[in-house]
Structure 1
Amino acid sequence: MNSPEIYDNRAKLEAIHQDIKRLMERSNQEYLDLMFANFKKDFINALTSYVKDDIESGLEKSMVDPCQMRKTCKSRFKEFLGNNAELIKCDNVSKESIDKKKDELSEIRKEAPFDNCEVCFKEVNSLFNKQLHLINSLQIYSSTEERPEISAIPEEVIVKQVLDPLANKQRLQILKSMASETKTFSNLSKLTGLRGGNLLFHIQKLLESDLILQRHERGDYMITEKGYNSLLMLAEFKKYMEN
């Protein structure tokens, strides 16, 4: 027969076992949280670096040359766009911050002295819009604007701009692949098994629907806010169908 001391010791051992188990679970969770935080930090830093490289290459390629103001304007554009790139590191970007950036760009535009300045500002606007798309895709932009009623959207728009572009396996495959990173034409060819004009046809469909965009002519392709939200919509629909 077991003595009271044995029962007592067993209870103490069980209590110690449970304490150790809880400690391990907490330690594992803390480790996972730390890993995720470090991964997120590395990803954001890499993304910010990528955006800044895009600024440099875009301005260098597209600004008017020769122009006596090229060096001065390029420096100011890089400062403006570079500061915007830092917003990617924020956990939350307010509508007021974005509006302030838009006003700042408008003020810079007013100071442009030449007619052909429009060429340079077209590239700056393009880079700025890409940054806004990226900020939206990261879901760190909070807007207080009311969303439009779904019932108010014409059926033709829904079919042409969303349903038709996504109602194809290869196009959906392409869009999904860009949810976390940009893709080259070669990457997409390997992914889909399509080549040349066949692949270009599907890419063009997504470009025309503003679900993806291309950094520059012959450059990488990246998802837009609209494209990312379309994927979220499909993910929610899948979840609903499984319930």
Structure 2
Amino acid sequence: MKTEVDNATEISELKSKLDLMHRDIKRMMKNSNKEYLDLMLKNLKKDFLNCITDHVSEDIETSLERGMVDKCQMRDNCKSKFTELLEKNVDLIKQDEVPETQVTGSRGELENLRAEAPFDKCDVCFSEVTDIFEKQLKLMRSLHIYNGPEEKKIDISDISEDSLVREVFEPLSNRQRLQIIKAVAVETKTFTALSQLTGLRGGNLLFHIQKLLDSNMIIQRHERGDYMITEKGYQVLKVISQLGGVLEDAPEPEAVES
């Protein structure tokens, strides 16, 4: 027959097992949320880059058509070569990282074409192509996929505390505003949809939306239009995701026995 001591021991063991199960379930839920957010960010990045590359390709055609010399027997041939060269950079934009060797190679191709140019007026066309090329590199830097030698490293002492608090921390220091930016990262949302999501109505919701608009985290397509995330908002959300991973990996503090 079990004694009270035996029963107490079994109860204690059951409590320990329940606590362990609770921690396992909690950890599993955290991992599930992180996997969902990672997948969401991956899909968002893919859609974002597709929009960017489509725009860059259109910019190549428009800029060359506008900037190259009109009356030249070599115009079509040169335009074809320029387009082929610049489209290589468009493909690079889709990569997670752009090696300096690839940029150097493309720059070398451009210099070789310039060396073969037969006319003085070729300077006009090559000036336009160079501008497009450098603009593409600037875009790669802004996407943090290319860190060329011309880019200066950020000195942490140069970071403005006031600007960081005003433009990042303060706009996101609210549960509803985090809900909003996470929601519009997945798809565009109407005011009504955001109201249903946050439980806020009218002026209260508008106050929080305006905070995100003012900080350029989100934009509104047009008056009374849907809300969508900006590049800045996307980059900040990536940092938040990474921070969430750090917090989840941190060991839980052990209870101190009294």
TM-score category of the 2 structures, normalised to the smaller one:
0.5 to 0.7
Aligned to 2:145: 140
Deviations along 1:145-177, whole A, 9 cap, x unmatched? 8969x9xxxxxxxxxxxxxxxxxxxxxxxxxx9
SS at structure 2 position matched to 1:142? coil
In the TM superposition, 1:89-128 aligns within 5 A as: 89-128=94-133
In the TM superposition, 1:41-120 aligns within 5 A as: 41-120=46-125
* Alignment length (residue pairs): 156
The letter for the 2-side match of 1:15 is L
2: distance between equivalents of 1:93 and 1:15? 45
1: distance between equivalents of 2:79 and 2:152? 37
2: distance between equivalents of 1:56 and 1:140? 24
Aligned to 2:20: 15
Confirm or deny that 1:28 pairs with 2:26: no
The letter for the 1-side match of 2:90 is A
1: distance between equivalents of 2:22 and 2:34? 18
1: distance between equivalents of 2:149 and 2:14? 61
Q: Unaligned stretches of 5+ in structure 1? A: 151-176, 182-243
Deviations along 1:205-240, whole A, 9 cap, x unmatched? xxxxxxxxxxxxxxxxxxxxxxxxxxxxxxxxxxxx
When Rg is computed on C-alpha atoms for both structures, the one with the higher figure is 2
Deviations along 1:120-169, whole A, 9 cap, x unmatched? 21211111111121122222223468969x9xxxxxxxxxxxxxxxxxxx
1: distance between equivalents of 2:43 and 2:70? 42
2: distance between equivalents of 1:60 and 1:101? 21
Q: Offset at 1:59?
A: 0.9
Q: 1:97 to 1:30 in 2, by over 3 A?
A: same
Q: Offset at 1:51?
A: 0.9
Aligned to 2:135: 130
Q: 1:59 to 1:146 in 2, by over 3 A?
A: closer
Aligned to 1:159: none
Q: Unaligned stretches of 5+ in structure 2? A: 156-213, 219-258
- C-alpha RMSD of matched pairs (Å): 3.3
Q: 1:52 to 1:111 in 2, by over 3 A?
A: same
Aligned to 1:39: 44
In the TM superposition, 1:190-205 aligns within 5 A as: none
The letter for the 1-side match of 2:68 is M
Q: Offset at 1:54?
A: 0.5
The letter for the 2-side match of 1:98 is V
Q: 1:144 to 1:57 in 2, by over 3 A?
A: closer
The letter for the 2-side match of 1:84 is N
1: distance between equivalents of 2:114 and 2:95? 27
2: distance between equivalents of 1:83 and 1:43? 19
1: distance between equivalents of 2:121 and 2:149? 37
Q: Offset at 1:90?
A: 2.2
Percent identical: 49
- Taking structure 1 as the reference length, what is the TM-score of the superposition? 0.55
Q: 1:146 to 1:38 in 2, by over 3 A?
A: closer
